[in-house]
Structure 1
Amino acid sequence: MPDLALQARLDAWRARVDAALAHALPDPDSPPRRLHAAMRHAALLGGKRMRPLLVYAAGTAFGANEESLDAPAVAVELVHAYSLVHDDLPAMDDDALRRGQPTVHVAFDEATAILAGDALQSQAFVAIANATLPGDARAALCAELASAAAGMCAGQALDIDATGQASGFDIASLERLHALKTGALLRASVRMGAIAAGADADSRATLDRFADALGLAFQVRDDLLDVEGESATLGKTAGKDAARSKPTFPALIGVEASRARLDALAMEMRDALSALPVDTSALAALARLAIERDR
């Protein structure tokens, strides 16, 4: 598929999930209006939509139609949005900027932000419960998403414990932290597309290899951007990791070694995708986006 055609496909999926998200969220004119406005602020103000795109890419590769993938795509993005709302709170990362906009607790208030995050997570499971999929697939999707959400919480707890401890951290511990905090939901996104499509066990195992490398690559690139990027481009505050002495790949192994690690992970992803007997061009494009992005 030509690159322009593939880009058009990804853009169409972004538009599709944006419309599905807007439909899945509560009516902004219904009470409590402040809570509903905060939920929409968290979920609808842009973003790469990497996780729902992975759902569509993995699912369609194995023959699922887009309609059957809408619910899991919405669900993973709602959980992602909830996690960002809570991560940005003063008790966590204390960030004032997200996607170039004030974070939810800044735009509204802390209590509303906490409630909005809780409601977004709950709404994700409503989306799956109402999916046009067989009951066993819906149950598997719920289990996968719940496991990923728990993993994200564990990763965030490890991240909090590690703040200020960069000098005493090792690379294996850092990779474990990010396999939970960042990798869990990216891996779940790929798995949920495969579940909705009814992919076989061997293919799912190969997709896991791809997704594990993708999750780590995504975080390595994030760490490099925090060192090299600017807030205006990133849409969030740059340089905060170093300022808070958080363990990152550049802090532990240096910038050049981090770039080399990113190259090795890119090769791992290509190797995994080449082993699959289906068209993986959309997954490959998302892998490139993860390692080449500037925000």
Structure 2
Amino acid sequence: MSNVISPAAFSARLADVAAATETALETLLADGPEAKGSDRLVAAMRYGALAGGKRFRPFLVVETAALFGVPLQAAMPTACALELVHCYSLVHDDLPAMDNDALRRGRPTTHIAFDEATAILAGDALMTLAFDVLASETAHPDPAVRIALVLGLARNSGVGGMAGGQMRDLAAEGRFAADRKPLALSEAEVLELQAMKTGALLAYACHAGALIGGASAAETAALAAYSTARGVAFQTADDLLDAYGDAATTGKAVGKDATLGKATLISLMGTERAHARLEELVREAGAALAPFGARAGMLAAAARFVADRKA
């Protein structure tokens, strides 16, 4: 039985999960009694989290959990928790002290729409809300699974994951050097940086889905191999978009990596080799899913989507 999913079928499923995620986030970010006196903060949280987007990380949680028969709504709390952390990271990454971006998803970034202080607090609140959601019984009835979900998200978003990767990225720009000169990183160093900054949350998505679904050690290992290949593919495609993409299509500024002198896979490999490596990674991701057969069709299509995306 073939596990090939058509682009149209994949896009439809991605849109369905995105819509379900948006609805769930709307509920989580409703202006309830606990937010009394913090209307501006809640408004900024909603602005940063309800800006649409592909909701790719929630999709990975949902589809990984589906491998083990977990329905969408049962996986949605964990999917939302991960997306809240992702949204907080975007709000903070856009700040003047970080990437200094004025545009995100085709509209003003949160600190432009509100102000820097409000954006910082909105990011803080989105991140803490994520752990509130994961600690709730709605995330999973088994307390041991909830603890594992919380631990995994903390480690993948903290100093050993996304935040640590962001710090390495800033250092690579020469932010902390006396001469402000960008660092010359090796390919291995760039891969490690990107695996932390971008890959960690993407990897957690599949890990979380495996936890929710009660995956075996062998199944978890197969999903980890898939996540590694797909994560590098995601960042390689992202680097290509920054180098050659169009701001009107991507919804954010492009060409910033070269301006900042960042060491990327594109600057190290060259465009031709990067494109070839991207295709290899898609094949590696698909091969890692072999133990799941046709059930993993959507996840295999996700790797293809990562390579082909234009935004």
Q: TM-score, normalised by structure 1?
A: 0.96
Residue 190, structure 1, aligned to residue 190, structure 2:
no
Residues 156-202 of structure 1, C-alpha deviation per residue, up to 9 Å, x if partnerless? 01000001555621100000000000000000011101101111110
- Secondary structure of residue in 2 paired with 1:63: coil
Q: Which residue of the partner structure matches residue 9 of structure 1? A: 13
- Which structure 2 residues correspond to residues 134-283 of structure 1 after superposition, within 5 A? 134-150=142-158, 151-164=161-174, 168-277=184-293, 279-283=295-299
Kept in 1: contact 2:229–2:285 (CA 8 A): yes
Kept in 2: contact 1:210–1:272 (CA 8 A): yes
Q: Which residue of the partner structure matches residue 29 of structure 2? A: 25
Kept in 1: contact 2:14–2:56 (CA 8 A): no
One-letter amino acid matched to 2:151: A
In the TM superposition, residue 30 of structure 1 has moved relative to its aligned partner by 4.7
In the TM superposition, residue 266 of structure 1 has moved relative to its aligned partner by 0.8
Q: In structure 2, do the counterparts of structure 1 residues 170 and 16 end up closer, same or farther at CA, with 3 Å as the change threshold?
A: same
- Secondary structure of residue in 2 paired with 1:69: helix
CA RMSD of aligned residues (A): 1.6
Kept in 1: contact 2:87–2:126 (CA 8 A): yes
Q: Distance in 2 between matches of 1:226 and 1:168?
A: 19
Q: Distance in 1 between matches of 2:166 and 2:9?
A: 38
Kept in 1: contact 2:198–2:231 (CA 8 A): yes
Q: Distance in 1 between matches of 2:134 and 2:183?
A: 42
Residue 125, structure 1, aligned to residue 131, structure 2:
yes
In the TM superposition, residue 275 of structure 1 has moved relative to its aligned partner by 2.9
Q: Distance in 2 between matches of 1:211 and 1:234?
A: 23
Give % identity.
46
Give unmatched runs, 5+ long, in structure 2: 175-180
One-letter amino acid matched to 1:194: A
Q: Distance in 1 between matches of 2:157 and 2:55?
A: 17
Q: Distance in 2 between matches of 1:173 and 1:5?
A: 37
Q: In structure 2, do the counterparts of structure 1 residues 293 and 2 end up closer, same or farther at CA, with 3 Å as the change threshold?
A: closer
One-letter amino acid matched to 1:70: M
Q: Which residue of the partner structure matches residue 108 of structure 1? A: 114
The list of structure 1 runs, each at least 4 consecutive aligned residues, that deviate by more than 6 angstroms after superposition, is none
State which of 46, 50, 62 in structure 2 corresponds to 1:44: 50
Q: TM-score, normalised by structure 2?
A: 0.91
Kept in 1: contact 2:133–2:139 (CA 8 A): no
Kept in 1: contact 2:93–2:99 (CA 8 A): yes
Residues 53-101 of structure 1, C-alpha deviation per residue, up to 9 Å, x if partnerless? 0000100011112221011100010000001111111111111111111
Q: Distance in 1 between matches of 2:10 and 2:48?
A: 28
One-letter amino acid matched to 1:98: R
- Secondary structure of residue in 1 paired with 2:118: helix
- Secondary structure of residue in 2 paired with 1:27: coil
